[in-house]
Structure 1
Amino acid sequence: MLLPRTARFFVSLAIGIALFLCAAWLAEKWGVAPRVIGLCFLVATIALYAGIGVAMRTQDVVEYYVAGRRIPGIANGMATAADWMSAASFIGLAGAIYHQGFEGLAYLTGWTGGFVLVALFFGPYLRKFGQFTVPELVGERYGPTAEWLAVCAVVLASFVYLVAQIYAVGLVASRFASVPFEIGLFVGLAGILVCSFLGGMRGVTWTQVSQYLILIVAYVAPLVVLSQQRFDLPIPHFAMPQLAQAERAIEERVTFDPAEIAVRAQFQAEADHYRQLLAAWPQSVEPERLRLWERWQIAREAGERPESLRAMEDELRALTKGADSARAFWIARLADAERAALPLRPFFAAWSGQSEAEKDEKRRNFLALMFVLMVGTAALPHILMRYYTTSTVEEARTSTAWTLFFVAILYLCAPLYALFARVELGQWFGTSIEAASHWLANWTNLGLATFTDRNGDGLIQSAELRLSPDAVVLALPELSALPYTIAGLVAAGALASALSTADGLLLTISNALGHDIYYKRLMKAQSSTHRRLLVNKTLLLLTAVFAAWVAALRLDTILLLVGLSFSLAAATLFPTVLLGIFWRRATRVGAVVAMVGGFAVSVLYYVLNHPVFGFAGDTRIWGIDPVACGVFGVLFGFGAHAVVGAFGWGARASDAAFVARMQQPE
């Protein structure tokens, strides 16, 4: 049951959101520039979060670390859902389903299944343990060495995840506030810091409650408006049959359209050309550079289209840098050309691939990714920390049920988002480039869409246009010609999703470093409360700035960065924490071997098989993609615990007592 103060908070926030949306809609009707409306959404939401963060400031250690252990179940469920539904969920999930169809559901099923594991095996037991951080549990169960390793695992997995969130903040701010990407990063960083810096977990919790309400309204609203406009149905899920029919019609038209077939043939010829260049590498580099230089000069004098000139200039720069640079460029171009040469992938096809072997590989990757996301969710430190904030073990179980409910609202809409985007984008195939210029220029300038008029007919063919997975949700209002207020609302929701998760991750990292390392190990629990919180806040600030710098490098897509963080959390923490709670024969030696070995196996597999590192040859095991590298780390971790536990190496008398205490009902 909600406390009166909590209920007033929810009602006031809902009324405030409704009034702001009405004001934005009226401003658009009165001719206010879209950029101004976008800035208003950005400033208003960050001001709201900052206000809550300032109002919830505290100097009490228990309030700062675990919000006083008095957060109601429904509020903790909402905060956990916001903490969980990162930019990967808000921005990336629908994009993955858009591009991968059925195979993209691995993200949805894996993440949702992870909360079942949390409810059964982690949440209640962490609350029963009753301390501040996940490494503390590892330290009490396995000893100080394992605790140090757990801190490293928490910091590393959380940091990779944090970089993805700050990247998303920069992406949203740069598009909807018309500021450079790097400026957007640090504007968002200010919003993140003001939420967590002053109030710790107390401030973050109530900020995340407000962020959940904003992000869920922002995610559902465009679907409701589109469903009502297109099919006269206010509940978008009921429009699925009509959407499926429209998507199949687009697929049939694109597959058999002569212009589409001709463009795909041109891309196939381009792929063959790059394949020949790679076969003759490195001798082919200099002749190709000279040929391309002559072609560029002729094209410039002939007034060739700017995008064609830019493509040739990019290739010339790569070839001028040397043979290795040319090879990497050609490999990337070959992959793009091969993808564009394929017919439009059927959205409802279960497994893609030209042969049974390729389809089997897709099935294995689906299961591997789903497994990693499931156990990674159950081991994510910033999610597990939330179960320290409830008042009782029973309240921890209740909050998990509420979390699943709040998460399901968004996840049940993600496939609809992908399908609406496919249908709305499909309406532009065969139309003129000028007609689409209002949204095409915006997203190509951000690097989230690529378009090349390959056949020079001035029309858009499906093979010529590729929308990044990170752009699907954000671009849908523009693709559908919805009011800019809706686009601004979606941007505010994306910002809320990234900020909410970033708040939790920053707090997790700073608590692990400040509490588990500085306070417990370096100062031997002798530091004053003021100094303790000061160190924690300093570490939080430094971590945030460093993460923003890394995010500015734009190393990978949001979803791949998040997938890596899940693999690292799964490989290093899941076997050790799970067995530490339930298996009395798990030992400190087994924990050290499992965490170090699980991390090493996962990272080695990722580095050897991810194209960004440039290793030649295919060293994948069973065709498993590097994003699911945690599968092998988890298997190694369980195996290490089993072998070491069987021999009893490093066993302590306190191991059995700890497990027995954790199993006692409360």
Structure 2
Amino acid sequence: MDLQTLTYIVVGASFALYIGIAFWARAGSTGEFYAAGRGVHPIANGMATAADWMSAASFISMAGIISFSGYGASAYLMGWTGGYVLLAMLLAPYLRKFGKFTVPEFIGDRFYSSTARIVAVVCLIICSITYVIGQMKGVGVAFSRFLEVDASTGLLIGTAIVFLYAVQGGMKGITYTQIAQYCVLILAYTIPAIFISMELTGNILPQVGLFSNHVSGEPLLTKLDQIVVDLGFAEYTSFTSNPFNMFMFTMSLMIGTAGLPHVIIRFFTVPKVSDARWTAGWSLVFIAILYTTAPGVGAMARMNLMDTIQTGAVGAEDGNLLYESRPDWFKNWETTGLLKFEDKNGDGRIQYYNDKSTSFAPKAEEFGWKGNELTVDRDIMVLANPEIAKLPNWVIALVAAGGLAAALSTAAGLLMAISSAVSHDLLKGTFTPQITEKQELMWARISMAVAIVISAYLGLNPPGFAAQVVALAFGLAASSIFPALMMGIFSKRVNSKGAILGMVAGIATTLLYIFTYKGWFFIPGTAMLPNTPDNHLLGISPEAFGTVGAIINFAVAYGVSAMSAEPPKEIQDLVESIRIPKGAGAAIDH
């Protein structure tokens, strides 16, 4: 069966499964819509949480960045996995113990202020909308190649699918859909990795193959280092990043992960506090399967790319050398616009090298090369790798379904967080508390539909690679929500004024910094300064500034609280009951 037909079958079957599950698990109450009725088993919830958390950035983009950045991209691995440990250890059990539906609801009650709740909603929406842009970018990339439509059309198709199962099922439908999506995405990620590891190293496990010998006899990483160095690039295993920026970036990802509302609300769906802890443990197991595989996928994808396009002479005619034409996989991806070849010296061969390398320039000139001729969107590497390695069509079709599952599962979780913030926190909790449960459910679905439309619109013009866009969202969460949650759980002294001004100061400074180098809402041409390391404050990139925003948040909150009245006695008792099992009372049973 040809690839196109097989892809339609596999992707279509997966979509039918997601929509079927959503209608089967249709939410009939606000408890089911917001928290799946608090009846999800920890293992199932761990799988759903893993799917919710492992977005297009993890599935599609992370290994692509590792492919081109090598060791320097380890910040993504350390930040995202380390952040999940923070979330599991410091926040999730306590927030579940509090027994509410949403993160803004906790912030509003803990800081005894509807204003604090509204500010938390605004921060949540800003973070979530930014995050979902990255998911839409991933959807567009996957659809543009495998369904042979342009990225914009693919994005709209993905939007329609999310609309069908997220709006109908709410958290209950999303939970069971995400379980199915986890199964699809993890099989789609690991099966090609196993095939390729066997081809390149003879090892069935990519985690082992990465540190094994290449089939040529030398270590895989040593061979890859030599190939890239010979073409003027830095060693794959070398560290060329600014150490301070890498530290700040890793911290931003870590605390941003721990402050992501769409992940936190997953811990509200289990029956009791101990189940939240078990959910965290199982989630780490399910996440580790992909994250320990990603470095091998990245390195092997780069190796396959270099081996495929750096083709040699295959003969001669009238004294002129004949070179291999571009391979079929290359031509397929060229049609998407995500892979480009410009024949600058007219020899018909792809010259891929670092044309900014002063040490390699004389050699390139000697060869008659006129500059690098290849442009690769890093987000294609995981999706293109099975084609490059000439794996069976069913594996390639499975990868397409996996990439879409990763993007759609996280998009659904983000939209759920936005929906619940608008309907439960803004409408029911603040402005129209008199509405019935049925009306609240209706507004929840309407707000989710509006959020889907806005996300699709913004996703049509993303500001960078999926992982880079997601990193900005993590920075915004790090600077606003994470500090408020930490102080809400572990400090009796922080009051409402401190929390409100801290969140505003943290997210405002981070947004201003992003605006300075990226532009307002990522509109091209609106940046105030060039986005280069030389122009960054202390070398801190926009993606890493969330750490600074968090420090500002903490400093403002503690400073203002110290200069104003203590929180009421009942609020201090509430903090005590959340953090310490003794005396927690009925909160444990919620």
TM-score between both structures, scaled by the size of structure 1: 0.78
Distance in 2 (CA, whole Å) between partners of 1:62 and 1:528 is 13
Where does structure 2 lack aligned partners over 5 or more consecutive residues? Answer: 313-322, 354-372, 582-587
Q: 1:442: how far off?
A: 2.5
Deviations 1:642-663 (A, max 9, x none): 2122223473333312211212
For 1:218 and 1:624, the matched residues in 2 are separated by: 35
Tell me what 2:361 maps to.
none
SS at match of 1:447: coil
Q: CA deviation at 1:245?
A: 2.5
Q: 2:380 aligned with 1:457, yes or no?
A: no
2:194 maps to 1:224 = yes
Determine the C-alpha separation between the residues in 1 that align with 2:228 and 2:403: 32
Q: Quote how far apart the aligned CAs of 1:254 are.
A: 5.7
Pick from 142, 147, 150: which aligns with 1:172?
142
1:149-298 map, 5 Å: 149-240=119-210, 241-243=212-214, 245-249=219-223, 251-253=225-227, 255-256=229-230
CA displacement at 1:391 relative to structure 2: 0.7
| Corresponding position of 1:51 | 20
Q: Offset at 1:247?
A: 4.7
Closer, same or farther: CA 523–94 of 1 in aligned 2, 3 Å: same
Q: How far apart are 1:535 and its partner, in Å?
A: 1.1
Percent of paired sites with the same residue: 37
For 2:565 and 2:65, how far apart are their aligned partners in 1?
Answer: 44
2:34–2:170 CA contact under 8 A, matched in 1? yes
Could you tell me how far apart the structure 2 residues matched to 1:614 and 1:517 are? 32
TM-fit CA distance, 1:540: 0.8
Give 1:560 shift. 1.6
Change (3 A) 1:251 1:234: closer
Relative to structure 1, the CA distance from residue 427 to residue 592 in structure 2 (aligned partners, 3 Å threshold; closer, same or farther) is same
Q: Distance in 2 between matches of 1:476 and 1:246?
A: 17
Q: More helix per residue: 1 or 2?
A: 1
Aligned position for 1:138: 107
Q: Secondary structure at the match of 1:494?
A: helix
Q: What SS does the aligned partner of 2:149 have?
A: coil
Report what 1:303 is aligned to. Answer: none
Q: 1:67 aligns with which of 18, 31, 36?
A: 36
Task: Specify which of 456, 468, 471 is matched with residue 560 of structure 1.
Answer: 468
**Displacement of 1:198:** 1.5
Shift of 1:472: 0.9
Measured in 1, the distance between the counterparts of 2:572 and 2:146 equals 56
Whole-angstrom distance in 1 between the partners of 2:375 and 2:190? 25
- Offset from partner CA, 1:202-245 (integer Å, 9 cap, x none): 10001001100110000000111122334333223332222472
Q: CA, structure 1 residues 460+121, in 2 after alignment: closer, same or farther (shift >3 Å)?
A: same
State the Cα deviation string for residues 67-88 of structure 1 (Å, max 9, x = none): 1111111111100000000000
Verify: 1:89 aligned to 2:58, yes or no. Answer: yes
Matched residues in 2 for 1:491 and 1:227: separation? Answer: 19
In the alignment, structure 1 residue 492 sits paired with structure 2 residue 401: yes
Equivalent position SS for 1:190: helix
* Secondary structure of residue in 1 paired with 2:337: coil
In the TM superposition, what is the alpha-carbon distance from 1:55 to its structure 2 partner? 0.4
Q: Which moved more, 1:387-396 or 1:451-460?
A: 451-460
Corresponding position of 2:550: 634
Amino acid at match of 1:639: A
8 Å contact kept, 1:254–1:462? no
- What's the RMSD between the two structures over aligned residues? 1.8
- Note the C-alpha offset of 1:636: 0.2
- Alignment correspondent of 1:661: 577
The change in CA–CA distance for 1:173 and 1:374 in structure 2 (over 3 A counts) is same
Q: 1:345 aligns with which of 225, 230, 234?
A: 234
Secondary structure of 1:450's aligned partner:
strand
Q: Which amino acid aligns with 1:348?
A: T
Report if the CA contact (8 A) 2:325-2:349 is conserved.
Answer: no
- Counterpart in 2 of 1:312? none
- In structure 2, C-alpha distance between the alignment counterparts of 1:246 and 1:369, rounded to whole Å: 28
In the TM superposition, what is the alpha-carbon distance from 1:186 to its structure 2 partner?
A: 1.9
Tell me what 2:9 maps to: 40
The structural deviation recorded for 1:429 is: 4.1
Partner of 1:281: none
1:370 matched to which residue of 2? Answer: 250
Q: Which residue of 2 aligns with 1:297?
A: none
Query: Could you say what secondary structure the match of 1:481 adopts?
Result: coil
Is residue 411 of structure 1 aligned with residue 291 of structure 2? yes
Give the number of the structure whose alpha-carbon radius of gyration is greater. 1
Residue correspondences, number? 540
Q: Deviations over 1:422-452 (max 9, x none)?
A: 1111212431675334122222332322322
Structure 1 unaligned residues grouped into runs of 5+: 1-31, 261-342, 353-358
Deviates more, 1:429-438 or 1:654-663: 429-438
Opposite residue 478 of structure 1, the aligned amino acid is E
CA distance in 2, matches of 1:546, 1:438: 37
Shift of 1:624: 0.7
SS in 2 for 1:242: coil
Find the counterpart in structure 2 of residue 25 from structure 1: none
Q: Name 2:448's counterpart in structure 1.
A: 540
1:474 correspondence with 2:474: no
The one-letter code sitting in structure 2 at the alignment partner of 1:366 is M
The one-letter code of the counterpart of 2:420 is N
